[in-house]
Amino acid sequence: MENGSERVRTLKGVVVVVTAVLLLRLFYIQVVDTTYKTDAANNVLRYMVQYPPRGEVYDRNGAFLVQSKEAYDLMAIPREVKPFDTLELARILGVRVEQIRNELRKASNFSRRRASVLFKQLPKEVKVRLDERNFPGFFTVYRTVRSYPTKMAGNLLGYVGEVNDRILERNPYYRSGDYIGMSGIEQAYEEVLRGEKGVKIEMVDVHGIPKGSYAGGIYDTLPSPGIAITCTIDGRLQALAEELLEGKVGSVVAIEPETGEILVMASSPTYDPDELVGRQRGNNYMKLLRDSRRPLFNRAVMASYPPGSTFKTLNGLIGLQEGVLVESQTYPCHGGYPYGRGVKCHNHWSPIDLTGAVQTSCNAYFCYVFRNIIENKKYGSIKKGFDVWADYVRSFGYGRKLNTDFYGELNGNVPSSAFYDRVYRGSWNGLTVISLSIGQGELGCTPMQMANLAATIANRGHYRIPHVVKRIHDRDSIDSRFYEDHYTKVDPKYFDPIVEGMYRAVNQEGGTGGIARVPGLDICGKTGTAQNPHGADHSTFMCFAPRNHPKIAVSVYVENGGFGARIAAPIASLVTELYLTDTIQRPDLVQYVKTLPINYPYYAK
């Protein structure tokens, strides 16, 4: 009997303990812990993403190139939308009533419970008028849009657009309706410029009208603004280059040789970057996309051209390094190279040495040099000699990407012996590929690679990777690869005769680039006339200045511009003059460049 009473007391004790535990848990849930209260309140809480302003972009002198300005997206939660004055909303937004109805229909089809964007990038004055009327179920979300005070460098700076499905699948940071850099600096430095999103939780009543922050805002997170960037571009120089290129098809690239910093990256035709901002962005983008002149195409890094006679400097350097050429070596030129099908040349004195050949841009001279390089008997075969030559060329940054800090850069092209084996079934020789001696044939380079060649010669044999960002404002330095010197396979001692020839080309009688001369600046340059099977030849010119301790290297490429001295050399000279002297003393040359007629094929008009 006692055992039975003991079991009853034990059972009662267990019941009391369990009951006490349940009561304490219930007390904790209802009084102490607010988790369930918060979950229950989800149907009256609105979670709104807080978008940060993107980081500003400055030029190297501190002038704004890109800013962010205030804008708003109009959102709606379909199930919370109550009858409203459609005409009044249409008037405030500046749209048709049918557009509002269509957007609401699409939002309802997507989700009646979730917020959808109806109209994007509304100015602040529209947001104020919307707040005054307080349309139930509608609300605005703060955003920023880009503003371009200088209206230039569209291809360099890039643009911002809405994320697509491919981006959403690839990157979990983004949500539908977010914006991302689509090209240029905006794309290359997206993670720096975008900042970090925050969240604001608002209490709303059954009509969808905000009643203030939830829990005093303690659950809100603030957005972190994007980081500002100072780029390497000189705004005044960029503006001049774009002005001189107006109406032309081509590009200008300028580099500071010592650092690899890009001072100018101009492509023409270009566009006003503000055209890809705001509610007309989509229409403007399609208009630019359909333009036969391809203004969205950044020719500075995405176009591959034959380098033309600028390439003769490189063949001269390889010949010196390989020991098949000395500075005093002379070759005859009586109107061209006489072997095989021949290569024509213009009138100049003969015979001619290396510096004279650079000065006058002698075709015949570099045909001799090129054949001596690739037919060098020490390599046993022309194929081996050719591949040695190609390796030299690649060491100057040709035929491959330079690993810059922006997207879209092309490799260009340096052919291999294997390529010619396939084309000619193994039967070819120096005469077959003789056009490579003067920068023609299968060679292709970007204007950026040509500017890098000018910088490499200016540095007497090395370069730093060209880049467009000078400083990220929350960091001590940029990527370490931009501080490394890259050396070519040519010894620095061999650069002097090439530099001398480039100096004479601009500053002495008989030089092909005399139009680029500026007294006191010691500009060293090389003209190029790149043959073009689709119309007039392309005009190209590369230079650096001053001769000793150079501060700037420039390449200019103008499609269908004719001789290198006709249009490319004057543009490069004016850009160099402004950078080194802070002024332009030749307004007549500016006028000449701006009014010079160029016969473009129909697609470029």
CATH number at residue 158: 3.90.1310.10
Read off the tokens for 152.
């230039």
Q: Is the dihedral of CA 597, 561, 264, 155 positive or negative?
A: positive
Among 311, 361, 331, 272, which Cα is nearest to 565's?
A: 361
Q: With 60 as the cut, is the pLDDT of residue 605 above it?
A: no
Q: Nearest 5°: CA angle at 374, between 393 and 310? A: 40
Mapping DSSP to helix (H, G, I), strand (E, B) and coil, where does residue 351 land?
coil
pLDDT at 36: 47
**Position 189, amino acid:** Y
Same domain (yes/no): 149, 67: yes
Same domain (yes/no): 57, 73: yes
Q: With 90 as the cut, is the pLDDT of residue 474 above it?
A: no
pLDDT at 210: 66
Same domain (yes/no): 554, 537: yes
**Residue 6 covered by a domain:** no
512: CATH:
3.40.710.10
Under the banding of pLDDT at 50, 70 and 90, the label for residue 250 is: very high
Among 345, 310, 349, 306, which Cα is nearest to 564's?
A: 310
Q: With 90 as the cut, is the pLDDT of residue 558 above it?
A: yes
Each residue's pLDDT tens digit, 43-102: 577 777 888 999 999 999 999 999 998 899 998 989 888 889 999 999 999 999 999 999
Each residue's pLDDT tens digit, 375-427: 999 999 999 999 999 999 999 999 999 999 988 899 999 999 999 999 999 89
Among 460, 533, 552, 535, which Cα is nearest to 497's?
A: 460
Each residue's pLDDT tens digit, 328-383: 999 999 999 999 888 999 989 999 999 999 999 999 999 999 999 999 999 999 99
Looking at residue 404, what DSSP letter applies? Answer: -
CA distances from 69 to 21, 66, 168, 178 (A): 57, 10, 25, 16
Each residue's pLDDT tens digit, 169-178: 999 999 888 8
Q: Structure pTM?
A: 0.87
User: Domain limits at 353?
Assistant: 235-288+296-599
Angle separating helix axes 587-595 and 235-245, nearest 10 degrees:
50
**Residue 357 covered by a domain:** yes
Q: Nearest 5°: CA angle at 481, between 477 and 484? A: 100
Under the banding of pLDDT at 50, 70 and 90, the label for residue 33 is: low
Give, for 213, the enclosing helix (H) or strand (E). Answer: strand 210-213
Give, for 587, the enclosing helix (H) or strand (E). Answer: helix 587-595
Under the banding of pLDDT at 50, 70 and 90, the label for residue 23 is: low
Radius of gyration of the chain (CA): 33
**Residue 25 covered by a domain:** no
| Rounded-to-integer distance, Cα 525 and Cα 539, Å | 14
Do residues 567 and 558 lie in contact, with contact meaning Cβ atoms separated by under 8 Å? yes
Same domain (yes/no): 182, 153: yes
| Rounded-to-integer distance, Cα 377 and Cα 554, Å | 37
Among 416, 394, 319, 405, which Cα is nearest to 358's?
A: 319
pLDDT at 37: 52
pLDDT at 54: 93
Do residues 253 and 153 lie in contact, with contact meaning Cβ atoms separated by under 8 Å? no
Same domain (yes/no): 129, 241: no
Same domain (yes/no): 281, 191: no
Same domain (yes/no): 382, 437: yes
In total, how many domains does the chain have?
2
Contacts of 553 (CB under 8 A, 6+ apart): 254, 255, 256, 257, 451, 454, 455, 458, 542, 543, 544
Same domain (yes/no): 216, 249: no
Query: Which of 29-38, 213-222, 252-261 is predicted least confidently?
Result: 29-38
Same domain (yes/no): 169, 302: no
Each residue's pLDDT tens digit, 517-528: 999 999 999 999
